[in-house]
Structure 1
Amino acid sequence: MSFVETEEQKALRAAVASLASKYNYRDYVLPLSRKNEPLTELWDEAGKLGFLGVNLPEEYGGGGAGMYELALVQEELAAQGAGLLLMVVSPAICGTIITKYGTEAQKQNWLTKLADGSSKMVFAITEPDAGSNSHQITTTARRDGGDWILNGRKIFISGVDQAEAILVVSRTEDHKTGKLKPALFIVPVDAPGLVKNVQEMDVIEPDNQFTLFFDDVRLPADALVGSEDAAIAQLFAGLNPERIMGAAMAVGLGRYAIDRAVEYAKERTVWKTAIGAHQGISHPLAQVKIELELAKLMMQKAATLYDSGDEFGAAEAANMAKYAAAEASIKALDQSIQTHGGSGLTREVGLAAMLQAARIARIAPVSREMILNFVSQHSLGLPRSY
């Protein structure tokens, strides 16, 4: 991996940053977030400019690049406080899985729409009784002639009200017990038997979370993505990008927080001296800057490994990147609020609202505790504790 980005990558950063400056946090994102309304205008323009599908194959309208470039887009958007949560699920998870395992018809139908942002597909894996243990998934699919019948329940599914379809992780009735062999289905959001309930969250964010109930949802045979007897690798083809993109969003939020703190510390004067001159202000900001840059390096390593085809190496790095970026971004926002003093808690500045959103990264898409379990077992070789 090179620490020097290509001219194309530098140009992409500059172009995304320019777009994000038009849809900045205070003027655009925060007012919509307070009303719990999606960032539709930003999404649409990012799609028209080709930013949303940079990782998808060129023959289906994508940019033909990799996860590194998609993470770069997310980071630069988030650095203006305008990160797009559905980039994590639509082009990164669903787009990647369909690219690797979908039929030609599925690719023609979905990748073209995911690439330009004209359609969104969300991802449903989490269940109330399974939590982080995907092997305990109870959503099942059974054959009925040439169709499939889907039954089950999912929780904390983001952006269903913005999507055309849901990529649902289930298991066939033949594999109700034992190790998970995921069966992935594309389910239209208006499918009969699918009930969608908004979950009431106490977080200021533009995207809704849903509980989903599948009650004898009938699907045609071509709704199945990949094999009905799939290896777990089919599922993790989407989960590694999810962690990389989550890290990219957290890194961008951390950059935003530090920029606002530095801006304020240069302008705010007490006793004829800018407060940024005092080590009590400057040293904590320098520390979080270092920690954020270290997290960014691990995120870039994870994306590079993933794009090179090293799935296991990418899994380790992606988990570490997500952990480090979450911790660094939360710390950066907390220190930015501290730098602002009382004004850091005002509605106008909006940093306290952003800290709420950043806090999610410690929990989703995988909790910090499960990442520590992964590193303990797979990186250190310690006995499995669960």
Structure 2
Amino acid sequence: MSFVETTEQKELRAAVAKLAQRYNYLDYALPKARAGEPLTELWHEAGELGFLGVNLPEEHGGGGAGIYELALVQEELAAQGAGLLLVVVSPAICGTIIAKYGTREQQTRWLPRLSDGSAKMAFAITEPDAGSNSHQITTTARRDGTEWLLNGQKVFISGVDQADAVLVVARTEDASTGKLKPALFIVPTDAANFTAQRMEMDIVEPDHQFTLFLDEVRLPAEALVGEEDAAIAQLFSGLNPERILGAAMAVGMGRYALDRAVEYAGTRQVWKTPIGAHQGIAHPLAQLKVELELAKLMMQKAAALYDSGDDANAAEAANMAKYAAAEASIGALDRAIQTHGGSGLSSDHGLGAMLGAARIARIAPVSREMVLNFVAQHSLGLPKSY
């Protein structure tokens, strides 16, 4: 990989940043979040400009680029405080999986609309009793003639109220062994016996979380994505982009926080000089700049490895990027608040609200503890601890 972005990538960054400046945090994204409303106008314009589908195949209306470019889009949006959570889900996870494994009919039906943002797809894997152990999910799919019946429950599923369908991770029974194995299904949000219940969260965010109940949800045969036996590979083809896009959003929020802190420290004067002239203020901000750049480099490495087809090394880098970006982002928000003093917790700046949103990155899409488990086992070769 090159550490120098191409002219096209630089131009994409500039174009996304220009859009995000018009839909910035204080004027647009934060008021929307406080009202509990999605960033619909930003989503639609980003779709019209081709930003949302930049990673999807050209033959289906996408940009024909990669996860690197989609992460770039997310980072620049978040750097203005206007990151789009469903970019992580709709084009990155669902779009990638359908582009790689979906039937021709699924690709023709969904990818053009995921590319231009006219359709959204949510992703449902987490369950109340499984948590990080996705091998223990109990949502099941059984055949009924040529159709499927899904039963189960999912939690912390983002943006279902905005979505046209949900890509649900279920399990089917292997007829030869009797064991359950994962499979993926496209479930329309208006399907009979499919219920979405909004979860109350203490976070100021424009996107809501939902608990899903599937009670004998009947689906046609063509709802199954790809082959039943390919579900593990399908899952990982979507989960690595999820980590990379999550890292991109965290890096962007960290950049936003650091910019606000530097701006304030450079102008706020209490004694004879701006407070940024004091090492007690300047050094922590300089340290955060280093940490954000390091996290960004790992994110770019993970994206480059994924786009090259090196899935094994991409998994390691994606987990490390998610970990590093979360820590740097939370650190940047906390330091930005401290730099502002009491003003840092005022509604005028919105930094306290963003700190709550940034805190999500330590938990989702995978907790920092599970990332450390992964690194200990797969990178260091230590015995599995769980």
Look up the equivalent residue of 1:208 and give its one-letter code: H
Deviation at 1:225, TM superposition (A): 0.1
Q: Which runs of structure 2 are paired with 1:247-258 in the superposition (5 Å)? A: 247-258=247-258
The whole-number CA distance in structure 1 between the counterparts of 2:168 and 2:177 is: 18
| Amino acid in structure 1 at the alignment position of 2:117 | G
CA RMSD of aligned residues (A): 1.2
**Aligned twin of 1:8:** 8
Find the aligned partners of 2:72 and 2:256 in 1 and give their Cα distance. 15
Residue range with higher mean Cα deviation, 180-189 or 58-67: 180-189
- Tell me how far 1:233 sits from its aligned partner: 1.5
Counterparts of 1:23 and 1:294, CA distance in 2: 27
SS of corresponding position for 2:283: helix
**Equivalent-residue separation in structure 1 for 2:210 and 2:178 (angstroms):** 28
TM-score (norm 1): 0.98
Distance 2:229 2:60 in 1: 27
Q: Which residue does 2:60 correspond to in 1?
A: 60
Distance 1:234 1:113 in 2: 21
Say which SS state the counterpart of residue 171 (structure 2) adopts. strand
**Aligned counterparts of 1:90 and 1:177: Cα–Cα separation in 2:** 34
Q: Which residue of 1 aligns with 2:263?
A: 263
Alignment of 1:45 with 2:42, yes or no, is no
2:282 alignment partner in structure 1: 282
Structure 2's unaligned 5+ residue stretches are none
**2:68, 2:178 → 1: CA distance?**
35
| Alignment of structure 1 residues 146-295 onto 2, 5 Å | 146-174=146-174, 181-295=181-295
Indicate the residue corresponding to 1:145 in structure 2. Answer: 145
Alignment deviations for residues 344-373 of structure 1 (CA, whole Å, 9 cap, x no partner) = 000010000000000000000000000000
Per-residue deviation, residues 227-270 of structure 1 (Å, max 9, x unmatched) = 12225111110000000000000000000000000110111011
Report the alpha carbon displacement of residue 306 of structure 1 after superposing the two structures with TM: 0.1
SS of residue matched to 2:378: helix
Partner of 1:123: 123
1:218 to 1:93, Cα distance in 2 relative to 1, 3 A: same
Distance 1:248 1:179 in 2: 37
Contact 2:173 2:179 in 1 (8 A): no
Moved over 6 A (4+): 175-180
Residue 182 of structure 1 and its aligned partner are, at CA, apart by 1.6
Between 1:14-23 and 1:174-183, the stretch displaced more is 174-183
Identity %: 79
Q: In structure 2, how many angstroms separate the alpha carbons of the residues matched to 1:72 and 1:346?
A: 30
Cα 1:180–1:277 shift into 2, 3 Å: farther
Instruction: Output the CA distance in 2 between the equivalents of 1:215 and 1:4.
Output: 51
Distance (whole Å) between structure 1 residues aligned to residue 80 and residue 42 of structure 2: 12
Would the aligned equivalents of 1:114 and 1:120 in 2 still touch at CA under 8 Å? Answer: yes
Counterpart contact for 1:138–1:176, Cα < 8 Å: no
After superposition, what is the alpha-carbon deviation per residue over 1:197-239, rounded to whole angstroms, capped at 9, x for unaligned?
0000011000000000000000000000011222511111000
Q: Call closer, same or farther: CA 1:153–1:175 in 2, change over 3 Å.
A: farther
Supply the distance in 2 between the matched residues of 1:163 and 1:369 (Cα, whole angstroms).
30
8 Å CA contact 1:25, 1:81 repeated in 2: yes
CA contact (8 A) 2:184 2:231 kept: no
Displacement after TM superposition at 1:179 (Å): 7.6
Secondary structure of the structure 1 residue equivalent to 2:210:
strand
Judged with a 3 Å threshold, the aligned counterparts in structure 2 of structure 1 residues 176 and 95 are, in CA distance, closer, same or farther, namely farther
Corresponding residue for residue 306 of structure 1: 306
Give, in angstroms, the shift of residue 181 of structure 1.
2.9
Gaps of 5+ in 1: none
CA separation in 2, counterparts of 1:235 and 1:222? 18
Deviates more, 1:156-165 or 1:227-236: 227-236
Encode CA deviations 1:46-76: one digit per residue, 9 max, x unaligned: 0000000000000000000000000000000
Distance 1:19 1:76 in 2: 9
Q: Is the 8 A contact 2:174 2:180 kept in 1?
A: no
Find the aligned partners of 2:258 and 2:107 in 1 and give their Cα distance: 41
CA distance in 2, matches of 1:212, 1:175: 28
Superposed displacement of residue 127, structure 1: 0.3
Task: Quote how far apart the aligned CAs of 1:177 are.
Answer: 9.1
- Residue in 2 aligned with 1:341? 341
Q: Distance in 2 between matches of 1:180 and 1:319?
A: 27
Once residues 72 and 378 of structure 2 are traced to their aligned partners in structure 1, the CA distance between those partners, rounded to angstroms, is 27
Aligned pairs, number: 386
2:92 is matched with 92
SS at match of 2:174: helix
Q: TM-score, normalised by structure 2?
A: 0.98
Q: How far has the Cα of 1:173 moved from its partner?
A: 3.0
Is the CA contact 1:16–1:73 (under 8 Å) kept in the aligned structure 2? yes
Q: Tell me which amino acid in the other structure corresponds to 1:193.
A: N
Contact in 2 for aligned 1:251/1:296 (Cα 8 Å): yes
For 1:102-117, what aligned pairs fall within 5 Å after superposition?
102-117=102-117
1:140–1:176 contact (8 Å) kept in structure 2: no
Q: Distance in 2 between matches of 1:179 and 1:318?
A: 30
Say whether the 8 Å CA contact 1:68–1:300 is kept in structure 2. Answer: yes
